[in-house]
Structure formats: C-alpha cells, structure tokens
C-alpha cells in the first residue's frame, strides 16, 4: 500500500504503526491529517484517514486581527474534528499547538491522551521554546501543561526519559520506532554490489549537509550519494547544497525520491553517514541498518546504540559507529568500511539482525497493544 505524499521517515514510521494496529479488529484506528486536497475520509487498509482543512495562508503582512481570526478558526475547526471522533485514546507526537488542541479534545470527551516525544529538543525548555515554538511565550507553557497531564508519555530513547524526568518531572516509557523489514532476498550481501556512501535527510540546517560534502571531498575515489528532501522554509539550503554537490564528480545528488527508490539506494550503499547535530531517534539510521548499510554518525548517538570510536584501532563489529564530532574519525571509518571487506560484511549482517530484533514492526506493535490495553482498563 502506498504512502500519502509528503511523508518523511518519522511520518512513515507512525503510518506503519497505525496501519499495523488497524489490522487488529480489536481497534478502530483513525487518523486526522491536514490535507487540503482531500474532501472526505479515505480508507487505507483498516485505517480511516480524516482530512482537516489547513489554516488559510497568512503572513506578517496580514493584519494582526486577521491573523488571529484565521488561527482561531483553524484551531476551532481542529478541535471540533477531534471531538467528533469521540475516541477512547488520542495520540499525538511532536510538540506543537495542534498537540495541545488534541489534549483538550481528549479531555472534552473523557478520552485518554498519549503523547510521543519525537525530538530531543522537546525534552528541555530552552530548545522547546526557541527551536520548536520559535520563541513564543505562551505556546510552550500550554504544551507543557498538557504534557504533564498526559495519561502516557512515550519516548524513543533512555536519554529522553531521563531528560523528561529531570526537566519536567514527567515519567515516560520507551517504545522503539517500528519498521517494516525488507524481504531477505532483496538485500545485496556482496560488497561489490554496494559501492556508495549514502546520506539522506531533509533540507534543514540541523542536518548539516555540507559536512557530508566535506567528507566526499576527502574521498575522491569513493562514490557518494546524497538524497535531500525539499522543505519550503529552507529552499535556499537545498539550492546551495545541490550547487556544491554538482561541483564534486564523485557525488550524485537527488532532490527527494520515493520510498521505494530510497530502499534501492540503501541497498547499493556500503554505509550510511549521519551528520545531524541533533535528532530524536533518527529513523534513517534504522532504514540504513535494516537494508544492511552500517551507520556512521558524526554527532548523534541515539540510545547509545552506535559504538563510540575514540582511536584509530579497528573497533568491534557493530551495526553502527559514533565519531563524537570528529571529522577525522568519520573519515577513518569510511576508509575502514571500504577497505576491510571482512569487517564490513560482519557489520552488515549485524546491522540487519539488530534492526529486526529491535525495531521490527511486530515486536513494536506488541508493546503498543500492551500499553493501550492497560490504558483502556484503567479507570
């Protein structure tokens, strides 16, 4: 079944979880989405997708009164759409004003409210205020009011659990991200079929794409593949990155591809490189591992699953490696995974097994079912 357009890794992951739960006749799973092109609810397997018209476009050139009117109308429309569902459990992810509306809608119909942390920035007040709510004085306070009263808060990593407890006095549980695994016979195990270093991400400064191109310059004999999903707010970054990539003969640049094509690129990759300065739990790391491409991360080590490399010695076999912000270490790991074929192959198989055992959708769905049952039985 195809995905709705505009899905990134985080949206795809939650979409697969929702579809998986909807296959169980115990649950009536519905999703609300901002979709101006949809006029009526549509069924995707057992999941019903309900469109909510987005707010009318406004800008700072629009009068203050008009802006407030448009925003209030939008949130009122969203609240009515949510309460009409009369759900037993309302689930939202990523700090936003919409997440707060979902909380109040849940309580209006006496439903349970579940929130899932999507990014490390949500777990401390400074980043929450500045990086997510763009310096707003009131939106973070309202969001935290809702978060502290949620019936269940789900985190992706232990560091998020610890930060929520320390910064907000909130107890959270961990449920790993859930992914569909590719068929075993679709994965190329021959290193000669896997010739590229791959980077995948959206156009955002946090992803630090230029560092990937710096690595490509260091390794002119290796092929580098860069897939950057466009984003309206950072069109200039995409243009700048593409322009520089086109000057490097060993770099192929793709301005966004389909989910099917992403898997095809992963299956041609020797390894995946992540240059982000911060993430929640990077779904693209899981996508790389499940397709047999060990991960090398420059500055992010989610749940400490990547082996931290601190010397030039060959590290132990691992599904991925953490370079602790060292471009030299990152470069050495690229060399290692290309030149030591036996080491790469063992990391390759370890990546696939680790992804299945930790992030396989059936395992993750069982965790959701257990906590949903506990919530529904809780008075």
Orientation of helix 9-22 relative to helix 361-377, angle to 10°: 60
pLDDT at 6 over 50: no
Query: How far lies 356's CA from each of 37, 61, 266, 359, 366, in Å?
Result: 36, 51, 16, 6, 14
Convert the pLDDT of each residue in 315-362 to its tens digit. Answer: 999 999 999 999 999 999 999 999 999 999 999 999 999 999 999 999
Per-residue pLDDT averaged across 30-58, rounded? Answer: 83
Per-residue pLDDT averaged across 169-198, rounded? Answer: 93
Convert the pLDDT of each residue in 70-79 to its tens digit. Answer: 889 999 999 9
Query: How far lies 64's CA from each of 56, 58, 71, 136, 222, in Å?
Result: 14, 10, 11, 16, 54
Q: Report the 10 Å Cβ neighbour count for 243.
A: 10
**pLDDT value at residue 36:** 63
> What is the average pLDDT score of the chain?
90
Give the torsion through C-alpha atoms of 122, 123, 127, 128, to 10 deg. Answer: 50
**pLDDT value at residue 379:** 58
Enter the pTM of the model. 0.83
Cβ-based neighbours of 61, under 8 Å, separated by 6 or more: none
Phi/psi for 249 (5° steps) reads: -65, -20
Work out the angle at residue 122's Cα, subtended by the Cα atoms of residues 179 and 94, and round it to the nearest 5 degrees: 50
């Amino acid at each position: 079944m195809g995905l709705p357009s505009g899905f990134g890794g985080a949206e795809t992951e939650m979409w697969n979880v929702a579809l998986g739960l909807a296959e169980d006749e115990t649950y009536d799973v519905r999703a609300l989405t901002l979709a101006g092109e949809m006029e009526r609810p549509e069924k995707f397997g057992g999941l019903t997708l309900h469109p909510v018209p987005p707010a009318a476009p406004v800008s700072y050139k629009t009068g203050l009164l008009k802006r407030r009117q448009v925003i209030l109308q939008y949130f009122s429309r969203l609240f009515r759409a949510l309460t009409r569902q009369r759900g037993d459990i309302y689930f939202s992810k990523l700090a936003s004003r919409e997440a707060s509306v979902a909380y109040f809608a849940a309580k209006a119909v006496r439903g349970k409210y579940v929130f899932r942390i999507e990014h490390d920035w949500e777990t401390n007040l400074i980043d929450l205020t500045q990086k997510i709510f763009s310096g707003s004085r009131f939106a973070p306070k309202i969001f935290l009011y809702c978060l502290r009263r949620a019936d269940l808060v789900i985190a992706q990593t232990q560091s998020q659990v610890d930060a929520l407890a320390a910064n907000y006095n909130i107890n959270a549980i961990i449920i790993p991200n859930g992914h569909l695994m590719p068929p075993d016979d679709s994965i190329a195990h021959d290193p000669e079929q896997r010739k590229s270093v791959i980077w995948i991400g959206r156009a955002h400064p946090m992803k630090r794409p230029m560092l990937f191109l710096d690595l490509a310059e260091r390794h002119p004999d290796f092929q580098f593949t860069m897939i950057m999903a466009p984003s309206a707010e950072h069109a200039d970054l995409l243009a700048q990155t593409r322009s520089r990539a086109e000057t490097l003969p060993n770099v192929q640049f793709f301005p966004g591809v389909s989910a099917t094509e992403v898997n095809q690129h992963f299956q041609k990759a020797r390894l995946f490189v992540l240059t982000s300065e911060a993430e929640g739990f990077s779904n693209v790391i899981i996508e790389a591992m499940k397709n047999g491409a060990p991960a090398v991360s420059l500055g992010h080590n989610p749940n400490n699953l990547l082996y931290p490399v601190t010397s030039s010695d060959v590290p132990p076999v691992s599904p991925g490696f953490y370079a602790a912000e060292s471009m030299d270490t990152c470069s050495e790991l690229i060399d290692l995974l290309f030149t030591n074929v036996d080491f790469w192959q063992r990391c390759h198989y370890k990546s696939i097994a680790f992804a299945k055992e930790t992030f396989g959708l059936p395992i993750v769905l069982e965790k959701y079912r257990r906590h949903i049952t506990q919530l529904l039985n809780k008075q």
